[in-house]
Structure 1
Amino acid sequence: MRRGDDSGTIDAVIEATQLSKRYGNTLAVDDLSFRVSSGRVTGFLGPNGAGKSTTMRMILGLDNPTSGSVHIDGKHYRELRNPLRTVGALLEAGWVHPNRSARNHLRWIARSNELPRKRVDEVLNLVGLSSVASKRAGGFSLGMLQRLGIASALLGDPEVLLFDEPVNGLDPEGIHWIRELMHTLAEEGRTVFVSSHLLSEMAQTAQDLVVIGRGKLIYQGTTDDFVSNATAQSVRIRTPQLGELKTVLDRRELTFTEADGSVTVFGSEAAALGDLAFGEGITLHELSPQRGSLEQAFMQITGEAVEFHAEERPAD
């Protein structure tokens, strides 16, 4: 796979430029531009109806853009001679003939892209399906189908990997496995682009994010920056002199909440609060900055881009 400083590494990237897709009167993707670099896991986030699946289909040449373009290593997908050697994708895990065995399903895919037959058993072992390789896919659970779909994506040992909801149907062990797999693939220098609704999982998996809403780009950058820029700074404080601390915070007109014998102060740095408590003779047992969650940041940033809002229940 042409990696390493002295092995002719290819900086395999996905680049969308002013990408738009219209279905009748519906503009699913609207002038979308972004770049996904190699060597990192990039999460693709957005509310339902944001245009994520449509964008992924355009990357893979399954849908044609109404305008704009998307390239992989500077080429359209249709220009790739043996596409599985460059791009591997999991979009719909259930896309497999129910009467075919897992091994035969992968063999005909390998043959279509001139891939060595031995690679089939290698990826079956990699995804943990060797023991059921001869069984019909129609009897597979959703989690097993997900693993088979991931095996299909890895079959050509590609530089670029696209995963749409890869953890669907996986148990906790399977979720941990796919997370570690994506990290390993990125560390090898591959481009890993993954869409998921499980924000807690994306917080542990993705180093970078592309966030869209109503087909438009909302954010592109690191996950850490997305969270820190969108969520309010806060510091949790524990003290045996809670009443005195609250009086000091009120006097300084600082915003805080109280729960479980501690206070969380918003809009101040830990060092400044520590100095304040010291100056007032207040003993502190805990002074810890609190990092906002990816879920909090996502809800705050994409709130206005949600297509369908749940109606609030009227009060009884």
Structure 2
Amino acid sequence: MLEATGLSKSYGGTVAVRDLTFTARAGRVTGFLGPNGAGKSTTMRLLLGLDAPTAGTAHIEGKPYRQLSDPLRTVGALLDATWRHPGRSARQHLRFLAATNGLPDRRADEVLELVGLSAVARKRAGTFSLGMLQRLGIATALLGDPRVLLFDEPVNGLDPEGVQWVRQLLHGLAEEGRTVFVSSHLLPEMEQTAQDLVVIGRGQLIYQGTMAEFVARAGSRGVRVRTPHAEALRNALTRQRVVFTEDSGAFLVSEMDSDAIGELAYAAGATLHELSPLAGSLEHAYLELTGQAAEFTSGGAR
């Protein structure tokens, strides 16, 4: 289990994390989300003892990282896939880490096979593609067979098959009873991977709970409408100043429920072939909840 309690971190006059409290449970994949500059990387560094908190505590299985008697067997992490000696082979990289942590050499070969790098085990890591480096980074995190795992953008650089493999891997690790904490900007992938969420903005907690509860909070995205009398419906919606867009021959209508749209279409003489609510999504819920917490935003067209 991972726990942050009142966690804060300042760099000079800049507050990166402010009074952050959350828990990531064993047996679950917990997604860690937030806009750029929200404090995600700083939080993960604090959890791993790479930075000292200004206030509060960060615990892994009840202890600060620096108090763990056997850290590699307790927690594994992938924060930077490019961290490796470019002149060493993948096997040498892992065997060096194994030797310095009291692990047998065979463990390096076991994790290389697990991540699909056995065929290139003797190649220098400096020649690896980003996707191969991601797999090597995951192998490094798994080397000590730890009970807690932290991953920052683990699917960056992977092809679709690799993305699916990571998703299945994370689910499998959680099913074994491990704590899996993963940060990613790929919201559609996170929606398929995480069971729980921790969402932060400007260094503060915005949400902690299940994925299902988070998506449900955003409610419906609107209603999808199809009609052979598009012009009549378009004019009716415009007169009522209803917000809508058109996509592939359908109207996507916001701020109006199905009953009201049906009545409006009937009055306009527009026969409807489809009138269906659009389910919420992680992306919709995330943008709705974090819109005011983004450090950097793009200006709209004028």
With normalisation by structure 2, the TM-score equals 0.88
Matches of 1:224 and 1:58 in 2, distance apart? Answer: 28
Q: Aligned match of 2:158 in 170, 175, 195?
A: 170
Q: Secondary structure at the match of 1:22?
A: strand
| 1:230 to partner: Cα distance | 2.7
Q: Aligned match of 1:257 in 244, 247, 267?
A: 244
For residue 288 of structure 2, what is the aligned residue in structure 1? 300
For residue 65 of structure 1, what is the aligned residue in structure 2? 53
| 1:248 to partner: Cα distance | 9.0
For residue 92 of structure 1, what is the aligned residue in structure 2? 80
What is the identity, as a one-letter code, of the residue corresponding to 2:146? P
For residue 217 of structure 2, what is the aligned residue in structure 1? 229
Q: Aligned match of 1:55 in 43, 46, 49?
A: 43
Matches of 1:297 and 1:158 in 2, distance apart? Answer: 33
Any conservation in 2 of the 1:102–1:133 contact (CA below 8 Å)? Answer: yes
Q: 1:9-88 counterparts in 2 under 5 A?
A: 13-88=1-76
Any conservation in 2 of the 1:256–1:263 contact (CA below 8 Å)? Answer: no
Matches of 1:166 and 1:237 in 2, distance apart? Answer: 38
Is the alpha carbon distance of 1:136 and 1:248 closer, same or farther for their aligned partners in structure 2, counting shifts above 3 Å?
A: closer
Is the alpha carbon distance of 1:256 and 1:26 closer, same or farther for their aligned partners in structure 2, counting shifts above 3 Å?
A: closer
For residue 170 of structure 2, what is the aligned residue in structure 1? 182
Q: Secondary structure at the match of 1:237?
A: strand
Matches of 1:133 and 1:230 in 2, distance apart? Answer: 46
Any conservation in 2 of the 1:51–1:214 contact (CA below 8 Å)? Answer: yes
| 1:266 to partner: Cα distance | 3.8
Is the alpha carbon distance of 1:245 and 1:34 closer, same or farther for their aligned partners in structure 2, counting shifts above 3 Å?
A: same
What is the identity, as a one-letter code, of the residue corresponding to 2:147? E
Q: Which runs of 5+ in 2 are unaligned?
A: none
Is residue 93 of structure 2 the alignment partner of residue 105 of structure 1? yes
Matches of 1:258 and 1:150 in 2, distance apart? Answer: 42
Deviating above 4 A after TM superposition, structure 1's stretches of 4 or more consecutive aligned residues are 239-251, 253-256, 267-270, 272-277, 279-284
Q: 1:264-303 counterparts in 2 under 5 A?
A: 264-266=252-254, 285-303=273-291
Aligned length: 300
Matches of 2:297 and 2:230 in 1, distance apart? Answer: 40
Matches of 2:172 and 2:278 in 1, distance apart? Answer: 29
What is the identity, as a one-letter code, of the residue corresponding to 1:66? T
Any conservation in 1 of the 2:223–2:275 contact (CA below 8 Å)? Answer: yes
Any conservation in 1 of the 2:221–2:284 contact (CA below 8 Å)? Answer: no
Is residue 107 of structure 2 the alignment partner of residue 114 of structure 1? no
After superposition, what is the alpha-carbon deviation per residue over 1:139-175, rounded to whole angstroms, capped at 9, x for unaligned? 1111111110000001111111100111122122211
Any conservation in 2 of the 1:232–1:267 contact (CA below 8 Å)? Answer: no
Matches of 2:114 and 2:260 in 1, distance apart? Answer: 51
Any conservation in 2 of the 1:94–1:145 contact (CA below 8 Å)? Answer: yes
Is the alpha carbon distance of 1:295 and 1:119 closer, same or farther for their aligned partners in structure 2, counting shifts above 3 Å?
A: same
Moved more, 159-168 or 229-238: 229-238
- Provide the identity percentage: 64
After superposition, what is the alpha-carbon deviation per residue over 1:266-300, rounded to whole angstroms, capped at 9, x for unaligned? 45666x579969x9998754343212332232222
What is the identity, as a one-letter code, of the residue corresponding to 1:96? R
Q: Aligned match of 1:157 in 145, 149, 159?
A: 145
Q: Secondary structure at the match of 2:190?
A: helix
After superposition, what is the alpha-carbon deviation per residue over 1:238-278, rounded to whole angstroms, capped at 9, x for unaligned? 34566787799899x794636344333445666x579969x
For residue 8 of structure 1, what is the aligned residue in structure 2? none
After superposition, what is the alpha-carbon deviation per residue over 1:100-156, rounded to whole angstroms, capped at 9, x for unaligned? 111111112112222232211111001110011011111111111111000000111
Any conservation in 1 of the 2:33–2:183 contact (CA below 8 Å)? Answer: yes
With normalisation by structure 1, the TM-score equals 0.84
Matches of 2:229 and 2:299 in 1, distance apart? Answer: 43
